[in-house]
Amino acid sequence: KLTEGMLNRSGPKTQPWGTPLLTGHQSDLTPFTTTLWAQPSNHFFTQRSVCPSKPRAASFGRRMLWETLSKENAGSCLATVLYRRTKSSPVVNIKCMHTKDQKQVQEEDNRLYQKIRHQTKPIIGNNIPDSYGHIEPALEPAWALAVTGSSYMMWEKSTESLGYFLAQVKSVKQWIRKDDFIEFDYTVLLHEVPTQEIISCHMRLTWLPGHPLKVKYFCASENQGLEDGSGMESGSAAGILHGKGANF
């Protein structure tokens, strides 16, 4: 369900000769409940010679690799998405492998949550990591959540020709709430490829283990207003489909 929703969000563009996209991140502390990031790999043409400005390929395909976040071996799903120029629905093939059980996942999420809740003062920080790649241990939980939230943002923003990486968390400020939710306000820098631009985004994130991560963001280069991250389902991609795995 979730997968198809995300697919429907962005359709094929007319200039497929652009770039491969690399989007996504992995961190030891990112909560399991936040779901997917996409790592589309090289697009390929089915026809051998193509003039870049006038593609004559009858179809082109784009592999997208979706993986659940957080610790290695948490589980991963591999999805192939084949867009056809005929504009029919893309063909999706998903294969998931879980190596961690839900209980373990929940426990680790809770540990992260408790770590943040036990801070005596609201978390505030700048430049994470710093210029030298160092992350203050006290800021690691906030960074982990930023990674998670950013991955959603980057997924939303990425297209056939634009991909993203999280370059740096410029600032983080925790908002203390009366309820049990954790709330952070971030300024993050995204590295955009292939343009090589550094995009500054403002991100507001709320989280409670067992609940979908809520992400609201606004990036400086955009003209639109505040973008709502739709709530995400917990765990990995909804609907584990064991299709015939494509060769990668």
Partner 1 sequence: MRGLVLLAALVAAAAGTETFVGHQVLRIIPTSDEELQKVQELQDLEELQLDFWLAPRGLGHPVDVRVPFPSLQPLKAHLEANGVSYSIMIEDVQELLDQEQMEMLRGRRQMPITTNTFNYASYHSLDEIYTFMDLLVAENPNLVSKLEIGRSTENRPLYVLKFSKGGTNRPAVWIDTGIHSREWVTQASGVWFAKQIVLDHENDKDLASVLDKMDIFLEIVTNPDGFAFTQTQNRMWRKTRSKQSGSICVGVDPNRNWDAGFGGSGASGNPCSETYHGPYANSEPEVKAIVDFVKNHGNIKAFVSIHSYSQLLLYPYGYTRTPVPDQKELHEVSAKAVAALSSLYGTNYKYGSIITTIYQASGGTIDWTYNQGIKYSFTFELRDTGRYGFLLPAKQIVPTAQETWLALKVLMLHARDHLN
Distance of CA 181 to the CA centre of its chain: 21
Closer to partner 1 at the Cβ: 110 or 221? 221
Question: How far, CA to CA in Å, does 106 sit from each of 32, 42, 86, 239?
Answer: 8, 34, 43, 19
Residues in the interface with partner 1 (CB under 8 A) total: 32
| Residue 26 touches partner 1, criterion: CB under 8 A | yes
Instruction: Provide, rounded to whole angstroms, the least separation between the CB of residue 197 and partner 1.
Output: 5
Closer to partner 1 at the Cβ: 75 or 163? 163
| Residue 218 touches partner 1, criterion: CB under 8 A | no
Is residue 143 within 8 A of residue 135, CB to CB? The reply is yes
Question: Going by C-beta distance under 8 Å and a sequence separation of 6 or more, which residues neighbour residue 175?
Answer: 122, 183, 184, 185
Q: What is the DSSP letter of 109?
A: H
Closer to partner 1 at the Cβ: 167 or 241? 167
Residue located via tokens 């241990």: 137
Residue located via tokens 């639109």: 224
| Residue 107 touches partner 1, criterion: CB under 8 A | no
Name which position in 195, 222, 228, 239 contacts partner 1 (CB under 8 A): 195
| Residue 52 touches partner 1, criterion: CB under 8 A | yes
Closer to partner 1 at the Cβ: 30 or 234? 30
CA distance 123 to 134: 17
Strand arrangement, sheet containing 60-68: 36-45, 60-68, 76-82, 91-97
| Residue 7 touches partner 1, criterion: CB under 8 A | no
Name which position in 3, 16, 24, 182 contacts partner 1 (CB under 8 A): 24
Closer to partner 1 at the Cβ: 51 or 176? 51
Name which position in 86, 131, 224, 247 contacts partner 1 (CB under 8 A): 131
For CA atoms 152, 248, 93, 236, the dihedral sign is: negative
Q: Which residues sit opposite 59 in a β-bridge?
A: 84
Among the residue ranges 1-9, 14-22, 80-88, 225-233, the one whose residues contact partner 1 (CB under 8 A):
14-22
Binding mask 154-193 for partner 1 (x = CB under 8 A): -----------xxxx--------------------x-x-x
| Residue 138 touches partner 1, criterion: CB under 8 A | yes
| Residue 14 touches partner 1, criterion: CB under 8 A | no
3-state secondary structure 59-87: EEEEEEEEEECCCCCCCEEEEEEECECCC
Q: Which residues bind partner 1 (CB under 8 A)?
A: 17-20, 22, 24-27, 42, 52, 129-134, 136-138, 165-168, 189, 191, 193-198
